[in-house]
Structure 1
Amino acid sequence: TERVLPLVAPSLLGAKVLAWRRIAADIIYLDSAHEMAETFNELVAFWPLVRRGGLVIGDDFNWFAVSHDVQLFVRTHNLTVESFNGCHERLRSSARGETCVWYIQKPMSAIEKGI
């Protein structure tokens, strides 16, 4: 269906609500805290709710904790992280002050969790 469900809630509570309502999403946007493990825990909670081919999008990849957690998640799940303007690659060199919006796309081959 074509609908947007804005959910104003702490992220992990939001993931529980979506799971309880059996809502699978094409796109989930995370505006994570900049603390270690926050983004990783959000990715773990929301990833099962993303449909095959769907995206988890987030910002602030230029923050160490966010970058660390996203990279840890993609490594442990054999995925890749991308960005809309290549900033995730440039951060290794010159883009330190740049806001970086990243995304992870769920493979079409992923096994659905039955939501």
Structure 2
Amino acid sequence: MAAKLVCWSLIVVLNLYCLLRVSAAARVNNDDLRLLFDCPECPPMCPSLPRSFQCEPVMEPGVCSCCPQCARAEGDLCGLRTGRCAKGLSCRPLPGDPDPFRSLMDGKAICTPESLLW
């Protein structure tokens, strides 16, 4: 069952990748993707990002994203559904992780400086 889920997830990701790589004449915009995935309406106003500290604003993860959020900082958990790491960081499973793909899918990887990648 888990293998089927991983296989279908890869198929969806590859199809999205192909949709986004089409020629400029047939470019798919974000509104088309939101319609394709039956996304809920975005709120009329997004919550403000915290002003107590500086952060790199990025869009929420996923096709249905509406609002900006702060990018993940060094040492934060990250993954496919949790948001991306800030510039200069890369989302990587821990060394020796028995299932690194699952860690990335479930948001249990760690934002690591790109200079420290193994």
- Taking structure 2 as the reference length, the TM-score comes to 0.28
Between structure 1 and structure 2, the one with the greater Rg is: 2
Larger RCO, structure (CA 8 Å, separation 6 or more): 1
- Taking structure 1 as the reference length, the TM-score comes to 0.29
